[in-house]
């Protein structure tokens, strides 16, 4: 082992342990490890009985289920398959007539700091009214509706209103391009788009409606009959007559009562597109019953949510975290939550800490990339250091989206959590619907950088390529051996890809393969996620397929001959996109190279979205390939990291290109 890799190892072996103190265990729903073990044992002894009990206790069913789990069509598992319920009724109506009805459901803080409160009763009325507007536009149960909205109360209302009438929503993150939007509209066969004229972020107005128009103009979107436009700003926008309706127009004359439509538990609540290892994004399909159960249950288990809590999940509704822990979970739990329109660095990098103080946030859930960028900001400027704000309202902190490095964990623990708040490092995926491996705040002794142990009923394991269990200490592939209620049901329009991606034949075809590498610690059996094992990158907690970016680059046919994309570690964003490009013209150098690199970045932003822009672009006369013509990605990863090349390069056609590709612009 080289001395460099020994140093890396020593950073990865984490010995600090933080057991929960009395403040965290007292009154916690799952208090102490014995309580956690008892739940795990219950799930092991009577798997179906365990889920039956929880599904009955946590959800309101309009028709009770009699079948808990149906494995006859595995891996197309069905949960509570003969039961009926409505997701919106389980988030809103169920609180009416209880003390929750007049409680604040959403504290909305706009980009400019303006605050608006919405109670549960008001939210129900607004969701119902918008649901009536959807119905008036002819939208029915089973129809797909694309939502392309900023972080606003209206965004949550749009999702809840779809759920209320049994329409399947597909939220597309507001940072995605017209092309990405068009592809999703076509794949989902959507009948309507719900959008806003503009979104406000960091004091800037960014168009949304114009991008919808551009996306539809790209063709193939004839299924779209209506575009609903929320006028977020007074700024003018371009109306397409006969198709576009403002929220005001759509809501006019609509009543504020709308009976929730009961749907089968397996009815698709939503489709959310995410990156996979091939070019085309996958439409991850979630079912109503199992998903909602998970949203509610994990609010209770992982966040130990209490009536007096103020919950704040900083994720955008365009990502799964914003689905489960903004649009559904907090409402199903009857919690008060903060919804934030803006960005953490505007008007200054102390915004998050200021908002925690202002709204007395008690449970705060964010991503490591945000923490790392705010550490950097706080270290560079005393004025935005969290010590300037009173953070004593906090009792639980959460992390999601990527592995949190122990240094960032310690900073979060000390400077935000005041050394008293447990940090729940929640591992999960778009496909898992909600947390699957995570500490419990009132039970689990914490180890920085580890997502610790699976939730009760989640049969997580680490295996080799054949599905054989590996001992603690050995790195392997993360799998979940038994189905769980909130798991992905299929890939929309592509059941074969669903089977191939997640239930490999070599492992028997019924075990869920997460796509992440992991290792369990020798002493406690704690899980530590080591990163994706496929061609998926994680940049600032956002999933990006390397193939997706490569296809975008080579689609610039007048310029690019060939491209390969890899990830390299980045202090703030976790991973950064590094693209190696061969042009159709001579390899550029100096100013010309910089200029073409910028052109390519803008192209990728246009094709996919700004989040996919390569940070590094390097030009070569060729790419390193094996004799059989395969691109040597491992070698490119080393080059991107700036590592010394130790691999065997003797099979390379033209070793001189390594030098070219090592050159940074």
- Per CB under 6 A, residues contacting ligand 6R9 are 274, 319-321, 400-403, 425-430, 451, 515-516, 529, 532, 538, 541, 543
Query: C-alpha distances in angstroms, 588 versus 614, 623, 658?
Result: 17, 15, 16
Least distance (Å) between residue 324 CB and ligand 6R9: 8
**How far apart are CB 402 and ligand 6R9 at their closest, in Å?**
5
Rounded Cα–Cα distance for residues 311 and 468 (Å): 40
Please give, one letter per residue, the 3-state secondary structure of 521-559. CCCCCCEEEEEECCCEEEECCEEEEHHHHHHHHHCCCCC
At its nearest, how many Å lie between ligand 6R9 and the CB of residue 199?
20
Closest CB 517 distance from ligand 6R9, rounded Å: 9
Residue nearest to ligand 6R9 (CB): 430
Nearest to 271 by CA among 170, 160, 163: 170
β-bridge mates for residue 400, sequence order: 426
| Least distance (Å) between residue 507 CB and ligand 6R9 | 17
Whichever of 152 and 274 has its CB closer to ligand 6R9, that residue is 274
Q: Which is nearer to ligand 6R9, 310 or 451 (CB)?
A: 451
Spatial distance between the Cα atoms of 354 and 349, rounded to a whole number of angstroms: 9
Q: Quick one: 143 or 304, whose CB is closer to ligand 6R9? A: 304
Which CA distances in Å does 228 have to 169, 245, 255, 425?
14, 5, 18, 37
Q: Which is nearer to ligand 6R9, 276 or 624 (CB)?
A: 276
Is the Cα dihedral 297, 302, 303, 304 positive or negative? positive
Q: In angstroms, how far is CA 132 from the centroid of its own chain?
A: 29
Collapsed DSSP state (helix, strand, coil) of residue 474: coil
Q: In 3-state terms, what secondary structure has residue 452?
A: strand
CB of 462 closer than 8 Å to CB of 478: yes
DSSP 8-class letter at 324: I
Kindly tell me which of 350 and 433 has the beta carbon lying closer to ligand 6R9: 433
Considering only CA atoms, which of 480, 472, 481 is closest in space to residue 524? 472
Instruction: Give the residue with the Cβ less far from ligand 6R9, 169 or 625.
Output: 169
Closest to 651 in 3D by CA, of 623, 628, 626, 634: 626
Tokens read off for 551: 């296809």
Q: Between residues 128 and 426, which has the closer beta carbon with respect to ligand 6R9?
A: 426
Give me the residue label for tokens 């102490």.
32
Pick 495 or 531: Cβ nearer ligand 6R9: 531
Minimum separation from the CB atom of position 610 to ligand 6R9 (A)? 17
Q: Rounded to the nearest whole angstrom, what is the least distance from the CB of residue 320 to ligand 6R9 in the complex?
A: 5
Nearest distance, CB of residue 423 and ligand 6R9, angstroms? 11
Nearer to ligand 6R9, 80 or 427 (CB): 427
Asked if residue 455 lies in contact with residue 42, where contact means CB atoms within 8 angstroms, the answer is no
Closest distance of CB 485 from ligand 6R9, Å = 17
To the nearest whole angstrom, how small is the minimum distance from the Cβ of residue 518 to ligand 6R9? 9
Q: Among residues 160 and 538, whose Cβ is nearest to ligand 6R9?
A: 538
Q: What is 354-383 written as a DSSP string?
A: HHHHHHT-SEEEE-HHHHHHHHHHHHH-GG
């Amino acid at each position: 082992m080289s001395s460099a890799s020994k140093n890396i190892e020593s950073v990865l072996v984490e010995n600090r342990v933080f057991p929960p103190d009395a403040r965290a265990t007292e009154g916690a729903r799952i208090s102490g490890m014995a309580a956690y073990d008892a739940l795990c044992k219950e799930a092991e002894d009577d798997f179906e009985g365990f889920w039956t009990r929880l599904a009955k206790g946590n959800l309101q069913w309009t028709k009770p289920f009699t079948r808990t789990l149906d494995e006859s069509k595995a891996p197309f598992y069905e949960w509570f398959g003969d039961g009926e319920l409505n997701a919106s009724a389980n988030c809103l109506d169920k609180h009416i007539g209880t003390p929750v009805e007049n409680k604040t459901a959403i504290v909305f803080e706009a980009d400019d700091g303006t605050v608006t409160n919405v109670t549960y009763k008001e939210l129900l009325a607004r969701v119902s009214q918008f649901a009536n507007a959807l119905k008036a536009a002819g939208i029915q149960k089973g129809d797909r509706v694309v939502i392309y909205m900023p972080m606003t109360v209206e965004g949550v209302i749009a999702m809840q209103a779809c759920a209320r009438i049994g329409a399947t929503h597909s939220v597309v993150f507001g940072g995605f391009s017209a092309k990405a939007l068009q592809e999703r509209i076509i794949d989902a066969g959507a009948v309507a788009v719900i959008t806003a004229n503009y979104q406000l972020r960091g004091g800037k107005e960014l168009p949304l409606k114009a991008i919808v128009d551009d996306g539809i103009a790209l063709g193939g979107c004839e299924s779209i009959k209506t575009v609903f436009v929320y006028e977020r700003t007074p700024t003018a926008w371009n109306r397409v007559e006969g198709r576009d309706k403002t929220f005001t127009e759509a809501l006019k004359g609509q009543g504020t009562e709308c009976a929730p439509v009961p749907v089968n538990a397996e009815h698709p609540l939503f489709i959310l597109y995410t990156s996979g290892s091939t070019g085309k994004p996958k439409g991850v399909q979630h079912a109503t019953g199992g998903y909602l159960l998970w949203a509610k249950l994990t609010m209770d288990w992982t966040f130990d949510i209490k009536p007096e809590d103020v919950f704040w999940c900083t994720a955008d509704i365009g990502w799964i975290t914003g689905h489960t822990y903004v649009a559904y979970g907090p409402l199903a739990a009857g919690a008060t939550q903060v919804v934030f329109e803006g960005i953490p660095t505007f008007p200054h990098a102390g915004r998050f800490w200021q908002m925690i103080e202002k709204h007395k946030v008690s449970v705060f859930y964010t991503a490591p990339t945000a923490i790392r960028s705010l550490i950097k900001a706080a270290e560079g400027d005393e004025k935005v250091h969290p010590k300037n704000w009173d953070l004593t309202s906090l009792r639980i902190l959460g992390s999601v989206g990527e592995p949190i490095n122990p240094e960032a964990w310690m900073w979060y623990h000390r400077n935000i959590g005041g050394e008293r708040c447990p940090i729940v490092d929640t591992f999960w995926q778009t496909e898992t619907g909600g947390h699957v491996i995570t500490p419990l705040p009132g039970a689990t002794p914490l180890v920085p950088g580890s997502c610790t142990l699976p939730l009760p009923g989640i049969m997580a394991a680490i295996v080799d390529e054949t599905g054989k269990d590996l001992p603690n200490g050995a790195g392997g592939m993360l799998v979940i051996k038994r189905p769980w209620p909130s798991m992905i049901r299929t890939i929309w329009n592509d059941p074969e890809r669903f089977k191939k991606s997640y239930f490999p034949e070599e492992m028997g075809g019924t075990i869920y393969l997460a796509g992440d590498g992991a290792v369990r610690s020798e002493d406690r059996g704690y899980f530590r996620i080591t990163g994706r094992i496929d061609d998926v990158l994680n940049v600032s907690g956002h999933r990006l397929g390397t193939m997706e970016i490569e296809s975008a680059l080579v689609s610039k046919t007048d310029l690019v001959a060939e491209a390969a994309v890899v990830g390299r570690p980045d202090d703030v964003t976790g991973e950064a996109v590094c693209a190696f490009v061969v042009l159709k013209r001579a390899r550029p150098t100096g100013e010309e190279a910089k200029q073409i690199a910028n052109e390519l970045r803008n192209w990728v932003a246009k094709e996919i979205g700004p989040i996919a822009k390569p940070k590094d672009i390097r030009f070569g006369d060729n790419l390193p390939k094996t004799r059989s013509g395969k691109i040597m990605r491992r070698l490119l990863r080393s080059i991107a990291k700036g590592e010394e090349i130790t691999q065997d390069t003797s099979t390379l056609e033209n070793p001189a290109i390594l030098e070219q590709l090592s050159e940074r612009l």
